[in-house]
Amino acid sequence: MLGDSLSASFGTALDQGWVSLLKQRLATEGLPHQVVNASISGDTTAGGRSRLPALLAAHEPAVVVIELGANDGLRGFPPKRIAAALTALVEEAQATGAQVLLIGVRLPPNYGTRYAEQFQRLYAEVAEDTGAALVPRLLAGVAEDRALMQADGLHPSAAAQPRLLENVWPVLLPLLQATARVSEAGG
């Protein structure tokens, strides 16, 4: 899991975050995967690109989940630059044979409609161009509900974490099942 504060459990206990809940779900479902949460609050696509090679070498993952780009967008980086960085991340993970899941986010409305729409589209474009699986919006059904957000309006509360997992699970599960079958077949 290569992500930012949304996956690093910012503002909540680490064991309450959606990535920790994913670990529990894998055990419940009897899937053999281990979860390495390499998410860092405040991380950008550039930070992810600098860390990814060592993470791939150290862990040899079957599935790589990339949830980055929000901090790039909050800094107003050009959408094409963010898309290029995400594409490089996806392709680098794919080059190792890993399945890749890209998780998108939306920006707050104060960034303007045009920029926010370009930003939101870039996730679908990167997924289409690279063949990565896509969860379009990690915070779907959460960001719209102030009761599920922390006071900063950017980060989900502990109560929202199960919903984040439910947003990711239907897209992640087929990747996990496919890689579990390959592992069982010895290859």
Catalytically active residues are 5, 152, 155
Over its C-alpha atoms, the chain yields an Rg (Å, rounded) of 16
Q: At what angle do helices 45-59 and 79-95 cross, to 10 degrees?
A: 0
Q: How far is CA 70 from CA 14, 75, 96, 110, in A?
A: 20, 9, 25, 14
Instruction: Look at phi and psi of residue 149 and say left if phi exceeds 0, alpha if psi is from -120 to 50, else beta.
Output: beta
For residue 69, give the DSSP letter. Answer: -
Measured distance CA(11)–CA(2) in Å, rounded? 18
